[in-house]
Amino acid sequence: MTAPNITLPATTAAAGTDSVQNGNLKASYFWDDGSGINGDTGAPASGEPMQEGLAASPSWPLGTEGYVEYNGKKEKFFIGDRGPGDPAGDCNVLLDLDGKTFAKLTGEKWNDSDLTVTGDKGHIDVDYTITKWGDGNGTEGAPQPMGTDTKCTDAVSGNGGGSGTSAAVGIQSGVPGTGITGTDLPMAASAVTAAVLPVLALAVIVTKLRRPALAKASDEAGDRAPSLRERLARVRDEYMR
């Protein structure tokens, strides 16, 4: 009986090998360069200078990398600051993009003089993908408003806010068209066990049945064979003749 070939692939993310988390959330924009203009609260918490691509999250680890998508446009970001503050309450606005990135996504223009984006969009719903968790302060997984333990799980989809999900497990039976994957694995394991156990049981029974017969044959052979003492006696008698 040939044992089935079971392959366990490496862990991959549901949305691709470069994704550790993805989902949808509402994003606003900011530009904190220490100028004090338009509500500027000072330099970013990470110590990095304010720049295009630097985003703020209320909870994700500093240094986290990823990208956002909006209306067919895609822009990279990394977490370098904390925010939004109050707007993140009730899991409302959970990501602050830098103003220049926000302008690119919305097709508007960035104004360096007053640190604003043209147009009337202050918030947009974006699809996000995290490609790498940062090693700075913060918490991986679903975003959390600052100062709370609330996890905004609705903002996470695909792999559930962890570090990726395992790809489907495949069992190749050696017969074309009979591969088993995904949730069928427990059923397949039960089927393999059901097939193997009777064979093992039969082997044990046959072994037990053969042991008495072999022992009897050995005893009978021992009864027929002359002992060493008998053979020595015969040699002695022949010598004395």
User: What would the pLDDT profile of 220-235 be if each residue is shown by its tens digit?
Assistant: 545 555 666 676 667 6
Number of residues written out for the chain: 241
pLDDT score of 40: 73
d(CA 131, CA 111): 30
Which of 126-130, 154-158, 192-196 is predicted with the least confidence, judged by mean pLDDT? 192-196
d(CA 220, CA 181): 57
Task: Give how far the C-alpha of residue 23 lies from the chain's centroid of Cα atoms, to the nearest Å.
Answer: 16
pLDDT score of 36: 82
pLDDT score of 18: 82
User: What would the pLDDT profile of 108-143 be if each residue is shown by its tens digit?
Assistant: 999 999 999 999 999 999 999 999 999 999 999 999
* Short-list 29, 157, 197, CA closest to 100: 29
Report the pLDDT averaged over residues 1-22.
55
* Short-list 139, 134, 181, 169, CA closest to 156: 139
Distances (CA, A) of 176 to 38, 171, 173, 180, 218: 66, 12, 8, 11, 50
Using the predicted structure, report yes or no on whether residue 198 has a pLDDT greater than 90: no
Confidence category of residue 192, pLDDT binned at 50, 70, 90:
very low
| Domains of the chain, residue spans | 11-166, 185-240
d(CA 125, CA 142): 16
In sequence order, what are the beta bridge partners of 97? 29
Taking the CA of residue 216 as centre, how many other CA atoms within 13 Å lie in the half-sphere pointing to its CB? Answer: 5
Report the pLDDT averaged over residues 3-11.
42
Tokens (6 digits) for 217: 């044959």
Using the predicted structure, report yes or no on whether residue 90 has a pLDDT greater than 60: yes
Burial-class residue 146 by CB neighbours within 10 Å (0-12, 13-18, 19+): middle
Tokens (6 digits) for 79: 């977490």
Confidence category of residue 194, pLDDT binned at 50, 70, 90:
low
d(CA 213, CA 206): 11
pLDDT score of 235: 61
pLDDT score of 226: 60
Cβ atoms of 84 and 94 within 8 Å: the answer is: yes
In CATH terms, the fold of domain 11-166 is Barwin-like endoglucanases (2.40.40)
Report the pLDDT averaged over residues 146-150.
93
pLDDT score of 234: 73
Report the pLDDT averaged over residues 74-93.
96
User: What would the pLDDT profile of 16-70 be if each residue is shown by its tens digit?
Assistant: 458 999 999 999 999 998 888 887 778 899 999 999 999 999 999 999 999 999 9
User: Identity (one letter) of the amino acid at 145?
Assistant: P
Quick count: other Cβ atoms within 10 Å of Cβ 33? 15
